[in-house]
Structures are given as C-alpha cells and as structure tokens.
Amino acid sequence: MQDWYPLWLSLRVATTATLIAASLGVGFAYLLAKGRFRGRGLLEAVVTLPIVLPPTVLGYYLLTTLGVNSPIGRAWEDLTGSPLVFTIPAAVIAASVSALPFVVRTARAALEEVDPRLEAVARIAGHPEWRVAASVTLPAARRGITAGIALGFARALGDFGATVMVAGNIPGRTQTLPIAVFDAVQAGDQATARTGSLLLAGVAVVALLVVTQTASRRA
Amino acid sequence: MRRPCPPPRAAIAALICALSLVAGCGDDDTATSRADDGTITVAAASDLRFAFEELGGLFTTETGVEVTFSFGSSGQLREQIINGAPFDLFAAANVEFVDAVIDAGRGDADTRANYAIGRIVLWSPPGVDLPTSIEELSGPRHRRIAIANPTHAPYGLAAEQALQTAGVLDAVRDRLVFGENISDTLRIAQSGNADVGIVALSLVITSDDPYVLLDEDLHEPLRQALVVTSTGTRGDDARRFAAFLASPTGREVMVRYGFALPGEELPV
Amino acid sequence: MTALTVDATITAGTFTVTAAFEAGTGVTALFGPSGSGKSVTLAAIAGLLRPTTGVIRIGDQTVADPREGVHVRTQDRRIGMVFQHAALLPHRSPLDNVALAAPGPSRSARRARATEWLERVGASHLATSPTRTLSGGEQQRIALARSLVADPSVLLLDEPFSALDGPTRIQLRDLVAALVADQGLTAVLVTHDLADITDLADRVVRYTPGRTHDTIDAGPGGLDLHRLERGLEE
C-alpha cells in the first residue's frame, strides 16, 4: 500500500477516542450501576443511542450538532479560528461517541457483578464512597472494564458511517483507514481495499489480544 | 443509597485524554489554517469519479494546482458543506443541491454553472443476462436491482423515475437494493449482490462491459451544476478549475465519459 | 441508655419486615425461620438498607428516621459486621485487611492497632499469610478483628459460624463470647443454630415470618430451649 497515512491516522484517532470513551464510559457505567438518581433512565437511553442509530444517522446528528451553524461549532470556531467539522478532532468525537456504548454496557455489567458484601465491608470500615469505588469496586470489576475498553477500541478503529459524515473523506487529512478502504472499493482498487482491510482486522485483533492477555495475567 | 461521586481516577483520565486530544491534532491541517499552497479540495458526485480524476491530472499539469477529490452522494456532500465542510468547489449530480448550498450562504452564486448532463444505463455483472430494456426488469429473472438512494443521490432519483415511467416501479419495488451513492451502487452490482444495477454511464463507459443506455425521456434530465464554495486564493484556484472544466480540453474529457454538454445534442 | 433500639419497617425488594426490639450489653440473638427478615433487619441497622418507617437508634444517636429525613451513612455509624463468609480483600494480607478498617492518625498507628487486634483474636501468626490460603475459621478471626478494630458501638453478626465445621465453630463461639465479655460489647447475632444460642445469647428476639414477635431473656436457669425450638405455636 503506497499511502500509510490512513493507518497512522486511524491509530491516533482510535487511541484518543478510546481514552475519552473509557474515562467517560466507566464513569457513566459506575453511575448507572450504583446510583439512584432522577435522570438515570435518560442517561441510560442517551448512552445506548449510538448503538441503536444507524451510523450515518448518528453522523448526521453529530454534523448538525458540531457544524458551523450550531452553538458548539460556533464556539469552537471563535476559540480556534476554524470549524470543528472536517477536522481530526471531529473524527475523534465521532469515534468516541460510537465506542461509548460498548464501554458503558460491558463495564456496567461487570460493576453490577461485584459482591455487594465487599463494598459493604468497606463502607462499614468507614471508607467514603469514592474510596469504596477505588479500592474495592473498580479493582473487582477490572476484567469486565478492560474487556469493555477493548471492545470500544475495536469499534472506534472501525468506525465509518459517523466519521465520514462529520469528518469527511478528505484524502491525506481526515481519511481514516475504514474510509480509505471504502473509497478504494468504489474506485475499483481491489489491491488497496484488500490490504487496508487486512491491516484493520490485524490491528484490532492484536489490540484485543494484548488487552485480554494483560487482564488475565493480573488475575 | 446516596449517589456516589465518580471516582477521581476517571476525572484524571478525562483530563489526560482531553490534553492528548489537543496534542493528537496538533499537526492537523484544519480548514482555514491550511496554507494557501496551491491545493484545492473538490467535493464531487460519485458519478464523476473517473472523469474528474483524469481532469484533475490534466488540470494540475497545466496550472500546477493540486486537486484532491472527495466523492460521495450529492445530498451527503450538500449536508456537509452547509454544516461547514471546507471544500473549495462543489460539483453535484443535480442543480437543486447546489442551489441549497448557495441559499445557505456557503456558495458564491456568481460561480453557479451547469457543466454536464448525465445518463443512466442498465448494467449486469458477468454471467448474468443483461436485460434488453427496462421493462424486462419486472420479469422474474432479475431478483435484486441496485439503484442509488433516491433521497440523496440524483442518479438514484432518475433511476426511480425511469422505473416509474416504464410502469414497472411497483412490480420491482421490493426487489430494490439501495446504494449510498452511484458508485456504491455499481459496486453492489459488480460484487454480484444484485443481478442488475441502474448506474451512471460515466462509470462504465470506459470499460469493456456491455450496458444498455436508458432513454432520456424516461426521467428528468440529469442536469449537473457546480458552485465555488471558498474565497481567497483557494476560491480563485477553484474558479480556474471550473473554467478548465468548461474549456475545450475539459469538454472533450467529459464527452468521452458519456456526458452531454449543456446546450448541445445528447450523445446516443 | 440502651445500646441499640430498633422499631422500624424495612422493605427489601418484595419482602417487608417489621422489627421492634432493644439490645444492651451482651449478645442479643435474632432467631426464627429462614426468610423471616433477620438479615434484612441487620442490614438496616448497618445502614445498608433504609427503613420505610420507624426509627433505629444506636446509643443516643438516631441513625435512621425516614419521617424526619434522617439517614446516617453506613460509614458514619460506629458498627462492626461479620458475615457468613469473611469477605476479605483477597489481594491484601490479613494485617492489611484489618488495618484498612482501623482508625488512627498515621499508617503505622493503624497497623499497630491492627496487630493488637489480631493478637486478641488469636491470629497474630497469620498476619502476613496469603489471605487466600486461610481456612474458613482463620478468615472469620480476621473478619472479627476487622470489625472490632475501630471500637464499634454495636457488633453485628450474620450467621458467622454456619460455614464452619463443628470444632471450629466451638472455638469461634468461645472467642466471640470472650470478646463480648472483655470489651463490654453490644452484639446482635442472627442464627439458626441452637448451640449458638445456648453458648452465647443473653436474650433472644423471636421472629415469625415478616416480623419480630417477642424477646426472651436468658434467665439464671438459661433459656428454655424447648420452648424456643417449638417456635411460636402457642
């Protein structure tokens, strides 16, 4: 493959997006698993939405929410001098949003599995809630949380529909590897399409292996 | 039970990632921060892929300005441009979407121009009998028919109109498979996922594949318009591209790809 | 001042129990058929469940009163609790498990208190043994130390011996009896086992499904086990 830019871009975007989805996702998962608060159902619905929507529809909503005609888009433009859409940060946002539900659902299930007596013991010992979370709940759920993050990474890496809408298919700038593969297929360039697809699959598999191996070794 | 606070680790992680987000795009070329370095980005409807790639090469040779193309369905490109996509020129497969961009204040009305008239054809993958007429599609031999999505791809709308005019739309409606844009549609047919596709003439004319040209009376004319969407040096270069498209060299290329030129006879 | 007063209705899922009793120094046993609400009562005393109505008082502090909007967090109630399974943190040493619950201005102060309590429960020799290798009885000793290291007002025990074999059960029972006596503790013990009651209980709160029925004191002649065993048929 003559052009390595899409691969390099995809790795950067997916890594950044996974960091965002992981920190937000584990936080939301914790709230949903442990909290009893008024907006809980709404939070759950919002966090599940990106899975339920077709990716291009999701991309369209992101486009109108972040575009030059939106409050967020205008604010970004005031701060940085150029629009948010069709930039690499936009691709990161699209990938983060797509990955978020995967992190939340898997992490939440893991957090709900934690033996409540372990948490009770920590509370009885006088630990404040954040310490119960940090020293008991999160460590006990780390395998599920790690799995969720790994899934999120794979999803972020492979995102197409939402990314192409909100970051565009601009070769050498925002063309991530999945978009490059699609573009190659449309151009009839089978060789590039094949290579790109293998690379995508390969990176995802390696990442998943690395993550699950370190998780089980720690156990 | 009291609502717990999110653990501080998550807050720290969020901070790190926010910083890496900023760092990760430090070397990113965003729209207006691009140097005016003799490159333009053209948003073009998918039917123009092969024609424009050839044109782009010729244009660069003549003027030294590099052209990057972003191909897609005209409707999707319109949405993106209205919401701030930093393209320098928009060449659609119809006129309405270009007008929408101008109305939204994202295109220079002075540069609006019709540059081509497109045609649609029937195309089948090897091994499948090509139908001899559009009416034949209502028969049982063609189980899946690929067209572009009529809501955002003008070539898909034309295909739908042609089916309607020929009186077979109702019969084939549940056999239709939608492509995201016209070259996606061709891909669907090429891969054998459909028995026949109604695709753009310009995408198949230079291959050896057989196709059946559909009569232009079957659908509204596919008048294709363009508009310049940026200003400054890039806008100037974009105008040069539009001018090149209308020059004898440009017109010759377009005719070779099966396009009719505005004001001239339609090719057979 | 009574050490513990319970007069509340608690709902857990679809199950509701109404409990009314007082507990003073010594061991108060909660006795009754499975599912009568004994463990739910204990959870409410610990603050892990909120009563829907009524009050719970530990010492002179009202820790739960839904009508007045009072609910003292588990963390702020001075209680210790031992479950059927010790629930020790598997990756920390026994000493660390106890030290994590210990009060003190510094880490070394907390470890010192923890060491002191490991000694009192007869587990000093286990201070640095891998937690996972401990037997059930050994783990319960550590759990006892952990629950007492912070000097609680009330010690709650939820069937603490039922997962142990006969001889171990006797040892642990004796240990609890000794600690209660030495420290002047107020302990509430949920149990099915009549032997627990004979050896430990100073009074027994009898449960019928869904509520407490009455409290029987262990008089000088001991408890009338026969009457207890018969349940509440009369």
Q: Name the strands in the sheet holding B89-91, side by side, starting at the edge strand that comes first in the sequence.
A: B66-72, B39-45, B89-91, B222-228, B113-118
Overall average pLDDT of the B93-97 stretch: 95
Find, in chain A, the residue whose alpha carbon is nearest to that of B67. A171
Whether residue C234 is predicted with pLDDT greater than 50 in this model: the reply is no
Q: Which of A115, A127, A136 sits opposite C75 (nearest CB)?
A: A127
Tell me if chain A has a CB within 8 Å of the CB of C146.
yes
pLDDT, block means (10 residues), chain A with 219 residues: 83 95 94 86 91 90 91 91 90 96 94 91 92 90 90 93 90 91 87 92 86 64
**Tens of pLDDT, residues B200-233:** 999 999 888 899 999 999 999 999 999 999 877 8
If asked whether residues C67 and C92 sit together in one domain, one would say no
Can you give the pLDDT at residue C147?
A: 95
Q: How far out from the chain centre does Cα B213 lie? A: 20
Looking at chain B, the whole-number percentage of residues with pLDDT higher than 70 is 84
Domain count within chain C? 2
Euclidean distance between CA atoms A59 and B80, whole angstroms: 10
Overall average pLDDT of the C151-169 stretch: 93
Q: Is residue C165 part of a domain?
A: no
Contacts of A128 in chain C (CB under 8 A): 75
Backbone angles phi, psi at C214, to 5 degrees: -160, 180
Q: Which residue has tokens 């839904």?
A: C66
C57's tokens: 């008082």
Contacts of C91 in chain A (CB under 8 A): 139
Chain B 92-151, residues with CB within 8 Å of chain A CB atoms = none
If asked whether residues C70 and C186 sit together in one domain, one would say yes
Torsion of CA B166, B167, B172, B177, to 10 degrees: 50
Asked whether the beta carbons of A22 and A152 are under 8 A apart, the reply is yes
Find, in chain B, the residue whose alpha carbon is nearest to that of A28. B6
Cα separation values, B69 from A172, B55, B260, C178, Å: 11, 11, 22, 85
- Is the CB of B49 less than 8 angstroms away from the CB of A134? no
| Lowest mean pLDDT, pick from A93-102, B229-238, C121-130 | B229-238
Answer yes or no: pTM beyond 0.90: no
Distance from CA of B88 to the nearest CA of A (A): 12
**Tens of pLDDT, residues C2-49:** 789 999 999 988 899 999 999 999 999 999 888 889 999 999 999 999
Euclidean distance between CA atoms B237 and B67, whole angstroms: 10
Distance from CA of A20 to the nearest CA of C (A): 29
**Tens of pLDDT, residues B142-151:** 889 999 999 9
Binding partners of A (≥3 Cβ pairs within 8 A): B, C
Q: How far out from the chain centre does Cα A185 lie? A: 26
Q: Is residue C21 part of a domain?
A: yes
Whether residue C228 is predicted with pLDDT greater than 80 in this model: the reply is no
Contacts of C87 in chain A (CB under 8 A): 115, 117-118, 120-121
Contacts of A122 in chain C (CB under 8 A): 100
Q: Is residue C142 part of a domain?
A: yes
Find, in chain A, the residue whose alpha carbon is nearest to that of C75. A126
**Tens of pLDDT, residues A29-72:** 999 998 888 888 899 999 999 999 999 899 999 999 999 889 99
- Is the CB of A117 less than 8 angstroms away from the CB of C73? no
Give the pLDDT band (50/70/90) at residue B91. very high
A60's tokens: 């369209």
**Tens of pLDDT, residues B67-90:** 999 999 999 999 999 998 999 999
- Is the CB of B7 less than 8 angstroms away from the CB of A185? no
Can you give the pLDDT at residue B6?
A: 45
**Tens of pLDDT, residues C62-117:** 999 999 999 999 999 999 999 999 889 888 899 999 999 999 899 999 999 999 99
Euclidean distance between CA atoms C167 and C103, whole angstroms: 33
Contacts of B30 in chain A (CB under 8 A): 80, 82-83, 87
More confident residue, B20 or A109: A109
Contacts of A16 in chain B (CB under 8 A): 17, 20-21, 24
Q: Is residue C31 part of a domain?
A: yes
What is the distance between the terminal CA atoms of chain A, rounded to a whole angstrom? Answer: 40
Domain count within chain A? 1
Q: For residue C187, what are the domain limits?
A: 1-78+153-158+175-234
Overall average pLDDT of the C165-174 stretch: 92
Q: What is the mean pLDDT of chain B?
A: 85
Give the pLDDT band (50/70/90) at residue C219. low
C145's tokens: 């130390």
Contacts of A70 in chain B (CB under 8 A): 83
Q: Is residue C170 part of a domain?
A: no
Euclidean distance between CA atoms B166 and B148, whole angstroms: 18
If asked whether residues C92 and C55 sit together in one domain, one would say no
Can you give the pLDDT at residue B30?
A: 41
Give the pLDDT band (50/70/90) at residue B21. low
Overall average pLDDT of the C219-231 stretch: 66
Tell me if chain A has a CB within 8 Å of the CB of B266.
no
Tell me if chain A has a CB within 8 Å of the CB of B30.
yes
- Is the CB of A118 less than 8 angstroms away from the CB of C87? yes
Q: For residue A210, what are the domain limits?
A: 5-218
Q: What is the mean pLDDT of chain C?
A: 90
Can you give the pLDDT at residue B264?
A: 60
Tell me if chain C has a CB within 8 Å of the CB of A218.
no
| CATH code of the domain covering residue A63 | 1.10.3720.10
- Is the CB of C87 less than 8 angstroms away from the CB of A121? yes
Q: Is residue C166 part of a domain?
A: no
Q: Which of B5, B25, B187 sits opposite A129 (nearest CB)?
A: B5
| CATH code of the domain covering residue C9 | 3.40.50.300
Q: Is residue C55 part of a domain?
A: yes
Backbone angles phi, psi at C32, to 5 degrees: 165, 175
Q: How far out from the chain centre does Cα A64 lie? A: 20
Backbone angles phi, psi at B40, to 5 degrees: -125, 155
If asked whether residues C144 and C205 sit together in one domain, one would say no
A82's tokens: 């150029």
Which residue, of C119, C151, C183, is where some domain finishes? C151
- Is the CB of A117 less than 8 angstroms away from the CB of C85? yes
Asked whether the beta carbons of C47 and C77 are under 8 A apart, the reply is yes
Q: Name the strands in the sheet holding B212-213, side by side, starting at the edge strand that comes first in the sequence.
A: B176-179, B145-148, B196-200, B120-123, B212-213
Q: Is residue C167 part of a domain?
A: no
Tell me if chain A has a CB within 8 Å of the CB of C87.
yes
Whether residue B140 is predicted with pLDDT greater than 80 in this model: the reply is yes
> What domains can you pick out in chain B, each with its CATH number?
39-117+223-256 (3.40.190.10), 120-218 (3.40.190.10)
| Lowest mean pLDDT, pick from B20-29, B37-46, C159-168 | B20-29
- Is the CB of C87 less than 8 angstroms away from the CB of A117? yes
Tell me if chain C has a CB within 8 Å of the CB of A126.
yes
**Tens of pLDDT, residues B40-76:** 999 999 999 999 999 999 999 999 999 999 999 999 9
**Which residues on neighbouring strands pair with residue B139, listed in sequence order?**
none
If asked whether residues C36 and C147 sit together in one domain, one would say no
